[in-house]
Structure 1
Amino acid sequence: MSCSTCQQNWFWKKIGHCMRCVYQLAALSTICVAIWWLVFRDNPKSIESIALLAAIAAFTGLLAMHLWMRWVVLPLKSSKRK
């Protein structure tokens, strides 16, 4: 899922730089939470519900990493260079 502005291959160099990834992860997290709430909240111990909860955790965790890099780490790196 690389965009035209960040064609680097290394994960840690890409994370936090691409807003397209942030938007995709936010949409995927929201859609998965809505599906889980509408379909599986009554039966949270089913296999499908657990798989969807794992997907929610993965999308939200990766989104948190992107936002942490973008709002905390990258500004600290740029302030140290000056």
Structure 2
Amino acid sequence: MSCHQCEESIFIQKLGRCFRCMAQLSLLSVFCWPLWWWFYAEQPKTVESIALLFFCVAFSGLLLLHLVFWLFYRIRNRANTQHK
């Protein structure tokens, strides 16, 4: 990832601002969840199933965190512009 936010910011400052990261996480989530459901939903205790499930939860969780911070920044910026 080589966008301006990713090269110069610390991790917490990237959340909600890096649209390239959010797009990648969206694609990974959309791809991995059906993959897990199709191949491993019937055998959830295998190593491959647990590993893929871990990655699915990680991708979706990080995407959710990005979206929460993005919404927070939008609300904060809207409140700041209304008070000026």
TM-score band (shorter)?
0.7 to 0.9
Percent identical pairs in the alignment equals 40
1:56 aligns with 2:70: no
TM value normalised by structure 2: 0.83
Aligned residue number for residue 10 of structure 2: 10
Greater helix share, 1 or 2? 2
Q: How far is the alpha carbon of 1:48 from its aligned partner?
A: 0.5
Question: RMSD across aligned C-alpha pairs, in angstroms?
Answer: 1.6
- CA-CA distance at 1:31 after TM superposition: 1.0
Give the aligned length. 80
- Which segments of 5 or more consecutive residues in structure 1 lack a partner in the other structure? none
Q: Secondary structure at the match of 2:38?
A: helix
Q: Is the 8 A contact 1:25 1:60 kept in 2?
A: yes
Match of 1:36? 36
Separation in structure 1 between the aligned mates of residue 57 and residue 2 of structure 2, nearest angstrom:
22
